[in-house]
Amino acid sequence: MNEKLISKKKPAFPITELLSNYLTNHGRNIKISVFYDDLLRFQGAVEIFDEKGKDTLWIRTYFAEHERDEIELGLKQMYTILHSDGSDSILPYLNVDSIDFCTFGNTKPFRIKIRNILNDNYVFLYVKKADASRIYGLELEHLLSPNHINFLVHNDTLIEEHISGIPGDVFISDKLDSCSEQDKKAIAKEFVKFNERCFVRLLADMRSYNYVFVLTHDFDRLQYRIRAIDFDQQSYEGNPKVYKPQFLKENNALVELSLKVLAKESIEQYEKEERSLLAKRANSEHERLNDLLNCMKQDHISTPEKIKELQIGLFNLTGDVHFKKSKNMGELLNSALDFIVRNYKNENPFIVK
C-alpha cells in the first residue's frame, strides 16, 4: 500500500527569498563557517552497529587533521546558537565527540554529539541539506502542535535539535504488547489525536520510524505523546490518505489497538478535541502563521498533478468549495486550517474512508 500512497523520492525544494526573510524575521537564520557540504569531505568512516549487532545505517566519520579543527569549531558555534546565547565564552568547555552520517533516506543527515567537558552532559544536533518542504513542516510543527521545535538555517544548511523519544517502530515491536490495559488506552488515544493532527496540517509519511513515543512519568501513571521527527513530506503528496498515519501498514498495530480498546464514540471525541486544539493554536499564532502561509502560497513545493489530486480529494471529503478554489499547497493548507477554525465547535470532521 505504501508504494502507491507515497512517492518513492521527493525532490528537495530551494528556499525562496520570501521564506528566507521569514526565517530571518523569526530568528531562524544564522551565519556560521560550516555548511552541510563541508561535512561531506570526511576522509574515512566505520559502520555503527546497535547492541544486537544490527547495522544502524549510520557511519562514524573522520576528517583530515588540517580540516578537523575548523569543522569542530563551526559545529560548536552551531550548538551555542541553538542552545545558548551564541557567545564564544563556553566554546572551550565543549567537545565534538562524534560526527555520524546516515546512509539511509532522502536527507542523509549528519548527527553531531556535543559534550560539555565540565559535567559530561551531551546533546545531539543534526545537520542536513536545507529543503523548503522540511522547513515548512518544522515551523508548522512549532506553531500548531503541542511541541516546540528548535532549528536554524544557514544558507542551504539546516540545523535541528534532537527530538528525544523511543522510535515508533521500536516501541511497537518491543514494548506495546507488555503495556497495561490502561496504558494501551492512553496510547490509542494519543495515536488518534496524532493521526488527526497530521491530516489537518498536511504532514505525510508518518510511518512508525518517522515518529517517536515520549513517555512522561506522572505521579500515578505514565503519559504518552507521539512526536513527528521527519518533516520532509509536508504538503507534497496528492492522495489525502497519505496524510493519515492510520493508512500506513507500519502503523497497523496501533490502528488495531485503537479499534480494540476505544469505542467509536471515544475516537470521534478525541478527533474533535484535537481539531479544537488545532483551531485554538492557529488562532493564537495567527500573525506568524499567516506570514508562513503567505510564503507557502507563493512557493512551489509540489507538482501540479499532486496539487490537483489533493484539491479534488479534500473537496470530495468536506464539500468545502475553498478546497476547489485553492491553486497550490499553501492555499490548500490555508483552506484546511480555515475549515477547522470555522467548524471546530461542530461535529464536522475530516473523514477519510
pLDDT digits (tens, 9 = 90+) for 5-16: 666 678 999 999
Residues 184 and 308 placed together within one structural domain of the fold: yes
| pLDDT over 90 (residue 349) | no
Q: Take residue 6 and report the three cell numbers written for it.
A: 507515497
| pLDDT over 80 (residue 105) | no
Average pLDDT of the chain is: 92
Q: Provide the pLDDT for residue 52.
A: 85
Q: Domain for residue 5, yes or no?
A: no
Q: Provide the pLDDT for residue 345.
A: 53
Q: Provide the pLDDT for residue 89.
A: 92
Residue that is written with C-alpha cell 520510524 in the block:
209
Q: Domain for residue 74, yes or no?
A: yes
Domain count, the chain: 2
Cα–Cα distance, 174 to 189 (Å, whole number): 20
Residues 155 and 193 placed together within one structural domain of the fold: no
DSSP 104: S
Q: Which of 108, 86, 87 is nearest to 39 (CA)?
A: 108
Q: CB-based contacts of 269: which residues, under 8 Å, 6+ apart?
A: none
Q: Domain for residue 272, yes or no?
A: yes
Residues 157 and 180 placed together within one structural domain of the fold: no
Of all residues in the chain, the percent with pLDDT exceeding 70 is 95
Q: Domain for residue 144, yes or no?
A: no
Residues 124 and 208 placed together within one structural domain of the fold: no
Q: Provide the pLDDT for residue 103.
A: 85
> Over the stretch 214-228, which tens digit does the pLDDT of each residue have?
999 887 888 999 999
pLDDT: which is higher, 86 or 255: 255
Residue type at 58 in one-letter notation: W
Q: What is the dihedral of CA 300, 159, 334, 329, to 10 degrees?
A: 20
Cα–Cα distance, 304 to 47 (Å, whole number): 41
Q: Which residues pair with 29 in a beta bridge?
A: 153
Domain holding 98, by residue range, is: 20-129+150-161
- Using 50, 70 and 90 to split pLDDT, how confident is the model at 347? very low
| pLDDT over 50 (residue 3) | no
Residues 57 and 112 placed together within one structural domain of the fold: yes
Q: Provide the pLDDT for residue 7.
A: 63
> Average pLDDT, stretch 128-133?
95
Q: Take residue 188 and report the three cell numbers written for it.
A: 490509542
Least reliable range by pLDDT among 110-114, 171-175, 279-283: 279-283
Cα–Cα distance, 137 to 201 (Å, whole number): 9
Residues 212 and 308 placed together within one structural domain of the fold: yes
- Using 50, 70 and 90 to split pLDDT, how confident is the model at 346? low
* Strands 211-217, 222-228: pairing kind: antiparallel
Q: Domain for residue 314, yes or no?
A: yes
Residues 283 and 173 placed together within one structural domain of the fold: yes
Cβ pair 352, 244 in contact under 8 A: yes
Residues 94 and 186 placed together within one structural domain of the fold: no
Q: Which among 120, 140, 161 is the end of a domain? A: 161
Residues 257 and 119 placed together within one structural domain of the fold: no
Residues 214 and 327 placed together within one structural domain of the fold: yes
Q: Domain for residue 14, yes or no?
A: no
Q: What is the dihedral of CA 107, 110, 111, 115, to 10 degrees?
A: -150
Q: Provide the pLDDT for residue 353.
A: 43
| pLDDT over 90 (residue 87) | no
Q: The pTM is what?
A: 0.92
Q: Domain for residue 329, yes or no?
A: yes
- Using 50, 70 and 90 to split pLDDT, how confident is the model at 50? confident
Residues 38 and 155 placed together within one structural domain of the fold: yes
Q: Number of helices (H) and strands (E), helices first, in the chain?
A: 13, 10
> Over the stretch 176-223, which tens digit does the pLDDT of each residue have?
999 999 999 999 999 999 999 999 999 999 999 999 999 998 878 889
How big is the CA angle at 277 (ends 276 and 281), to the nearest 5 degrees? 120
Q: Domain for residue 192, yes or no?
A: yes
- Using 50, 70 and 90 to split pLDDT, how confident is the model at 350? low
Which helix or strand (DSSP H or E) is residue 248 part of? none
Residues 117 and 206 placed together within one structural domain of the fold: no
